[in-house]
Structure 1
């Protein structure tokens, strides 16, 4: 939630045909007792309530286990889940709201468990305005015990993606285990016959051998009784004595495309093999392999045979899972769901997925020629924010977080361009704010955190948008705190140490998504739905449409913050948890918020994105605005180096933007900066043109002009995120523009590292720095910051094509090496092999044909040399602009190597080999520049003292010669300039 228009959760809206609850409360209790502090390193939190607490039916504020059975798991109760309204009773004090598990939805009643397999979406709204789709709960059957009349449904157990509701009326009991992906529901009963009550009259197509198959509302169900028991049909009731054994299961069959009873019976029989292998638990495990940049996730099922020895089950997978499935093959049948087709695996007790993690960055690198107007523009913006880098719009957890996020972006960028004054101002604001919030001194009641042992949660006060009474949005709010702490940790590692304030950051992480199963103070991965692959925002989920999440991108801000905090503090467990959350949710967002492959939204829903995902559908809307910019922008902000996943599909980015323009009746008029930053991931040139043409825009509340300019300007140089190449380090990624790759890696440690990319490229990154290949960094900066912000050498690399110096009046030149003692870094390639400080007459030379592959190896090169050079090095990079013309020849590629002998002793200290440039078969000069990128480099750069520089140009591939323009055309700019 980012708009101050109105609070996201305190409004009335319709969802799935139900009215959403209107809530409101003061942020701070009027007569709260003084806080009592519990210390964590130098920080502290209070254990005395200082404001409103989670609320609901009965005494749930102080007893969240009010609706939990005595034998349920110990420890903190889960919240923010698909089934939370069953435990956290808030609108239905006896039972629950519909529980959308997929492929089935359920609801609880006094006489049992209702089933809905609704496959017909309800679509409302317009194609250009607010609209939504839902698969609302529409009951097919209700399963229970004959005569059951329980006054309430409690929770007898839960695991990573299942829950066990429990009914008792004193004479009869029933336990049912249901879960994500399970086409079976499993039952244990006492006190009466099992009963299935059908809406209308069932169409029975099989009834033998303890199995009954029937159709209701077009959906095929099967009841499985123990061996030796049968089923009796009487009108709309199906009953079984269960032969006195007290267990059975009911399954929904997948769609087969056939209505023949024999086909249905065969499928029912195949499912029957697993009918009494009850799923009694589920468990996630994941592993991040930095070397291959992959995340392997295992979804395991505990299966308890009630009879027989089969210990496998049947499961259905969401699209983000089956698209990444490894080691298993789904059967041909599938289920419809609110998330698209769910594919079926049979006879398994676990399955695995493998996904590629494409990396995050503390911030985009500053690339391109920083000596011109753009650098001046950026530093002007930064200077304007120096006195107020947070620009905080409120004092609660959310708006404080937004301010912290703003300051973190400013700190990262200022450090890159050498504006230490603004950087230090931003870091000071972050340090002071976090230290204040992480200190709960006696008597303090505001700007602090309170730990509630009953609920197992850490609540910040002043709270906002239900983060106290509903436990909403903790991952949204706290993600900003953690991300800012990660930035601060690079520059002030002592502050981030466990003995100082690092322990408080860890508590925020554990509250929102506890990564440590052994820590029972908080539920495991509270806000993250493990099987669905994404967060849920509402703590209680008490809506007819199930739980919901609006700002998936703020959820990703939390995941990215964990990666960076874990990396900065050396905590691999936190880093790996962040990588798992980030990679999994990035896939889920592409499927369920963006539907980028156009496979999951129902036909008739005419939007390419949703602003909100609900348990039973999605909505092109927000809690706070009907403006298209906010509906779409709420899933794009905050824009950071942790949000590069938004650019994994550039074509979708352009399609998303086109819809916004269509729905808005023109370009964006609010949140323009957010929309342009998103567009820059798919069409950076248009985004930059829009930004330059609309300088009077109003920044979004958490953005700054400096960051927006930096982001868009540098993406215009870097190009699109390249997902075809992986890195061996979590803070690394690759960009592609015009066929040239730029490799970027950030090192937040105190020692140099070497990052290896999957295509063989290696990038050495100094301590506390960000390095690039193929992009020369903006002058005066630190290219990314770290514990040592002192400017130093940077690895060269691409950006936009450097401007060739304007030709001057030709002067007589002597071919050969340049004169001794020259101090100009700009060199012209002259006939005869000179690299002169002044341009010569227009000329040309022939680069002979390769007639083979000489990529990386100079073969018959043209050689240009300058000697006697005296230039100081201040962190620059080599740049060249070579004029090439292959005429109509096809398949030519010209390559360049630049060598530096810093002292003129005959030994080249620094050698840079650039990727070859593939020329086109059209007459006329083309520009081969450093934008092609480095192929390899060795040795350090440094001051030239009577030094020598050599440029070699040769054909790497091709069977035809190429012309090289000389004199006043091709130029070389030395790194010392």
Structure 2
């Protein structure tokens, strides 16, 4: 979603809306999808998506770091399903000239190519149907950001950004861009990024649905990233182009989360149309999203196939109601974290919710524990949730490694917040080593405060252990 400039290539072809997620292509396994089915003016699934609001993340760059001018809202006027199987993101302008629009991102932030395999992210999208002077300032996008960006907001572009579909000013073209390394300059030529663009095949980008696809291929050497529109390849970048260190920074973390938004104004549309928007810019032209889906092919991770041998434990543990942890369940659930009762339980579990996974047999990869827990204290003031992760390397009942992280002070506004490892490690005992029929235990509790809290489970809160 950052500034991206590139040349144009003209080729033909077009697609039509499907109305549902297509079946997996041969050899691919569906990891996640949303076909945006629901009543007109309803919001997208809260279990799958979170809604960004305002002019930036709390503590992050202003104007979302791009210079865009709109205020993102959760109003159905800006963000809703259309009742016909599409997501609708509509920029609007009020009588004072103020713009509003919408931006959503997946709750999951673990989309990653399996070792030795390929990740495929795809969406069928109709860009806002507006062109010429009336489109100046429109900036629709379908993209992905590296998971470590959540809770930090200042580590871009090192953590990686994949712009699967970008467009500005109603131009009949799709841009695909990689952002990486350092800003400005670096191997990805920031803030421009490494990008390419081309005319949409057949019908224009604005007048019809087209399929926009991104692939991250770890099955070939060097690894490669590829961008497609309607199955036609128009851009690629391999790891040799950016260097081993830069590639590792953007790929050796937990994965990526996906975003959909329509911005107004900012560096990219300004670069191709002068200061935008203008008095001629017309509000009310939505981006329509038919579906978004993520598949993987090959490799050593992903949901088990019925013909596969029994797994030896996952390195990605979703917390489950009932005290287990493992692959994500199909739906979002919650558990309650008991009140700290006004006492200080910083560093010491107090009436914790406990989640255990095992047996796990995996090789320590030299990394560190990562987690993304969805927590909400409602309107309670001065509550703080805390997590401790413990490793029993051989399953003998001895916790060989225990890590306690600084607690996360939730705000007194209802709605989930992300508690991640970015809060920092408070204390650790023992050492890591390979897991052989081992166990992992996750304890979550309220360290401070007088109220209870809610922890998202099922397909929401995840702990990623550093084992390949």
What TM-score do you get using the length of structure 2 for normalisation?
0.37
Ranked by relative contact order (alpha carbons within 8 Å, sequence separation 6 or more), the top structure is 2
Structure ranking higher in helix proportion: 1
Name which one, 1 or 2, has greater alpha-carbon Rg: 1
